[in-house]
Chains A and B, each alone.
Chain A
Amino acid sequence: MNAPIIDPLQGDFPEVIEEYLEHGVIKCVAFNHRGSLLAAGCADGGCVIFDFETRGIAKELRENDCAAAITSVSWSKYGHRLLVSAADKSLTLWDVSTGEKIARTTLQQTPLHARLNPGLSSPSLCLACPLSSAPMIVDFEIGCTTLLPVSVPEMPDVLAPQQRSKCAESGPPFSPAAACFNKCGDLVYVGNAKGEILIVDYKSVRVLALVPVTGGSAVKNIVFSRNGQYLLTNSHDRTIRIYENLLPGKNVLSSLEELGKNVDGLDGVEKMKTVGSKCLTLFREFQDLVTKMHWKAPCFSGDGEWVVGGSACKGEHKIYIWDRAGHLVKILEGPKEALIDLAWHPVHPVIVSVSLTGLVYIWAKDYTENWSAFAPDFKELEENEEYVEREDEFDLIPETGKVKVSSVNEDEEVDIETVEKDAFSDSDMSVEELRYLPAEPIPDTNEEEQDELKLIEARISASPASEEAGQNGHVADHTSSPLGEEMGETRGKRKRKPSEKAMELQAEKAKSSKASGRTVREKSRASGDQEIDGSVNGVDDDDDDAYF
């Protein structure tokens, strides 16, 4: 787009890398409904759930017989279940709070993309898009797979055969079609290789409407915005298109049936197209005219205001952000590691991107201190104002003169209990959402100071591996004070690089010969010395003040 770039200061989108998460080689990520948990699928077949608030690991889901790379993860609407698809053609449904496997099926082909039905609270129904066959609906309870139609043939009857775990024989071989559920989960929108969007009722396996995508090139990704009002398609012609969803939020099926009945005198494809034109209208197109790059993992922001697309051409890690009107607002550039997956936090202006090396980068706004926050009567001015003093500003007034009148009505009723309804409970509250996994403190094995230092030593030699709950004596998670201090020191951007810290500590350990940090601290405190913790690691530059 040749439109000018909007002043980035006005936008509510991330700007810099704040931190990165590491746990083996991560392949794909997904936020839960509120963004409090981040599920990440790894190359070794395991899935780890990060607590996004603490940026630590909340749970690990691992199946012993699955060692193939995870291709996608998907949460159920209320966060109780997680669907994981892997390169060994399997789909596994996990219960998040217990960490137990609920069900597992194996398909004919590796599913690239699998999504749980967003309309149900405990879904056992999911949509899987395999590598080279039609998207299918997999029902875990019944145990059957239903292939969805990917094209509307010129013949009147359109039903695709209902088959049990078999590939469709008829038809030319096609490149992968993309599909997604609509917001309430009763329709599937399929984007096929001919450049058409089909609206399919998966229960009756019927195509209800057809929307041709301008340009007619294969659709690679198709994604709804969170509120279901906008639909995004990413096509092979390197263009992202935004469609506005004209269908109502609820009772979509009956509305579609109505539309179908109202179209007289048309049959087959024409009828589909007419109905389709009432369901979606093209809103905008985005492409990079200069570099003409292929977009990876495009999606909407949580509020649907921004569209983000990743670019991995030439091994770069670039994230493009547009506003919905089509103006390119920002290009975020990451380290030289190709980008493979992207997710926007449902609530905050935070983006999470996965690089080829398996690291998850967290992008957030660059926070600067608001100086008016430091005193209650500071006010922020948009521009310099000339201060004109009052006539009597500098007069010496006797004490009896001014009495401050309290402008606050002190007799007003104060309500300390009622809480406003959450903006994010966009559906009924009958089902309780799983927002957080309970944090159980991993017990310290020892509290003796000598042992504590031995643990630090051991930690240096051990690799910065994952923190596994319940494993006592596992050294990786004992952050005694020196490491803890260093981790949290900088106020702004924090980069957790365990290996660097470990090496620094090792250097320090070589220098200092103190057996017990604690006794030294006591002595220091007694004699009023500075650098109390500096004696143990000596890398703190900020502990310069005396505390007494």
Chain B
Amino acid sequence: MPSGGNGVGNGGAGTSGGSQTFKPYRHLKTLEGHTAAISCVKYSNDGNLLASASLDKSMILWSATNYSLIHRYEGHSSGVSDLAWSSDSHYTCSASDDCTLRIWDARAPYECLKVLRGHTNFVFCVNFNPPSNLIVSGSFDETIRIWEVKTGRCVRVIKEAHSMPITSVHFNRDGSLIVSGSHDGSCKIWDAKEGTCLKTLIDDKSPAVSFAKFSPNGKFILVATLDSTLKLSNYATGKFIKVYTGHTNKVFCITSAFSVTNGKYIVSGSEDNCVYLWDLQHKTILQRLQGHTDAVISVTCHPVHNQIASSANHLDRTIRIWKQEDA
């Protein structure tokens, strides 16, 4: 089983007009611990911890410095589809097929602090708002719910948000907007305070939207659709400015990420078992990270170091850590 890092493609010296040469990512470590497909990995905002959620109903907390296992969270009665970190890196929230969300403490004694009930079908996606006093969740019951972190109260239900399961929800930088993507092919932007729909972004061919998130400054939205395309759209005009292709994404809701620590890249998993890195401006594929033995479902970028963590589906069940070469 090859555990090398560099793949085929434009990896290596991608200097097309850019100010730096691209330094390729190399495989650093493989983490095992889950017994089923891993649906989500995320680094905490302070960069000290890595959390992974899996269909084996558990969530594992890893150290991001030496990648040792810190804690395994058990409690959900069904597979976990998504997880999110609070801004202060103290809490995580997991979304599960048992229709609930759970807030876990990321510090000892690693307790489950709250169970948020209300959804009537699988909860598929979750995110904290930047002040981390609210949680937004999207579900197969086609509603978006906003919860108060402190009391677990459901503050708002956006009913009939979409006409098919909601695959992704994300707050923007100041917590005033929520972007949601759904299998019905639409990507909508909601006012977080009132729950009213502000805008709808649909492309012409409308394939299912598998993932949507705001850029770090909240001006752009990265949308992944199940026709193997990633698009960067200007939220204000609604026009798609950049399109990233080359990977395969037709079945799973694969997460993507912005990598901004050393040059600006878009990182995404793919169903051909690789992790793809594109140059943000030039849309060229900079590298394909090979090593997983099944579709790569989730990727996350370390907030400070040039590291990427990726996780894969059933046949693989591992998390791989990739590190960029130093100068």
Interface residues of A (CB under 8 A from B): 36, 51, 53-58, 348, 367, 369-370, 373-376, 408, 410-419, 435-436, 438-444, 447, 467, 469, 477-481, 483-485, 487-489, 491, 494, 521, 532-533, 542-543, 547
In the bound complex, how far is the Cα of B141 from the Cα of A73, in angstroms?
Answer: 44
User: Which of B140, B153, B198 has a CB less than 8 Å from the CB of A56?
Assistant: B153
Query: What is the predominant secondary structure among interface residues of chain B facing chain A?
Result: loop
Chain A contacts of B199 at CB under 8 A?
Answer: 373, 376
| B residues adjacent to A (C-beta < 8 A) | 75, 88, 90-91, 99, 103, 111-118, 120-121, 129, 131-134, 140-142, 145-146, 148-159, 173, 175, 191, 193-202, 215-220, 232, 238-243, 258, 260, 264, 280-281, 283
New A-B contacts (15) at CB < 8 Å, excluding given A54-B150, A370-B197, A373-B200: A53-B134, A373-B196, A373-B199, A374-B200, A410-B242, A414-B220, A416-B260, A419-B173, A440-B90, A440-B150, A481-B154, A488-B118, A488-B153, A491-B195, A547-B121
Closest chain-A Cβ to B77's Cβ sits at a distance in Å of 9
Contacting residue for A438 out of B120, B132, B191, B240, CB 8 A: B132
Please measure, in the bound complex, the distance between the C-alpha atom of A276 and the C-alpha atom of B88, giving whole angstroms: 51
Chain B residue with the shortest CB-CB distance to A517? B117
Question: Shortest distance in angstroms between B45's beta carbon and chain A's nearest beta carbon?
Answer: 13
Q: How far is the CA of A348 from the CA of B192 in the complex (A)?
A: 13
- Nearest CB in chain B to that of A531: its residue: B120
3 tightest A-B contacts by CB?
A481-B117, A416-B215, A484-B154
State the CA gap A439–B132 with chains docked (Å). 7
Across-interface contacts of A444 in B (CB, < 8 A)? 112-115, 152
With A369-B197, A488-B145 given, is the CB distance from A542 to B150 under 8 Å?
A: no
Q: Tell whether, in the assembled complex, residue A479 and residue B197 are in contact, meaning their CB atoms are under 8 Å apart.
A: no
Contact B258 A416 (CB under 8 A): yes
Closest approach, in angstroms, between the C-beta of A508 and any C-beta of chain B?
A: 17
Residues of B within 8 A of A483 (CB): 153
With A53-B134, A56-B150 known as contacts, the answer to whether A491 contacts B159 (CB < 8 A) is yes
If A439-B150, A491-B195 touch, whether A542 touches B159 (CB-CB below 8 Å) is: yes
Which chain B residues border A370 with CB–CB below 8 Å? 196-198
What are 29 pairs between A and B in contact, CB < 8 Å?
Answer: A51-B150, A56-B148, A58-B133, A58-B150, A367-B191, A367-B196, A410-B242, A414-B220, A416-B260, A417-B216, A417-B264, A419-B217, A438-B88, A441-B113, A441-B149, A441-B152, A442-B113, A442-B151, A444-B113, A444-B114, A447-B75, A469-B150, A479-B154, A484-B118, A485-B118, A487-B153, A491-B156, A491-B159, A521-B99
A483 vs B140: C-alpha distance when bound (angstroms): 21
Query: For residue B129, which residue of chain A has the nearest CB?
Result: A53
With A441-B113, A487-B153 as known contacts, state yes or no: A416 contacts B280, CB within 8 Å: yes
Contact status A56-B241, CB under 8 Å: no
In the assembled complex, the Cα of A57 lies from the Cα of B153 at a distance in Å of 12
Distance in angstroms between the alpha carbons of A477 and B240 in the assembled complex: 44
What residues of B have a CB within 8 angstroms of the CB of A489 in the complex? 157
Residues of A within 8 A of B175 (CB): 53
Contact B232 A414 (CB under 8 A): yes
Q: Which of A412, A477, A488 contacts B154 (CB 8 A)?
A: A488
Complex partner residue of B112 from A58, A438, A447, A487, CB under 8 angstroms: A447
State A144–B232 Cα separation when bound (angstroms): 61
Instruction: Give bound CA distance, A255 to B239, whole Å.
Output: 52
A467 lies within 8 A of B150 (CB): yes
Report how far A411 CA is from B241 CA in the complex, Å: 8
Closest Cβ of chain A to B152, distance in Å, is: 6
Q: Is the CB of A54 within 8 A of B111?
A: no
Least CB separation from B153: chain A residue: A479
A477 touches B151 (CB 8 A): yes
A481 CA to B159 CA, complexed, in Å: 16
CB pair B196–A488 under 8 Å, yes or no, is no
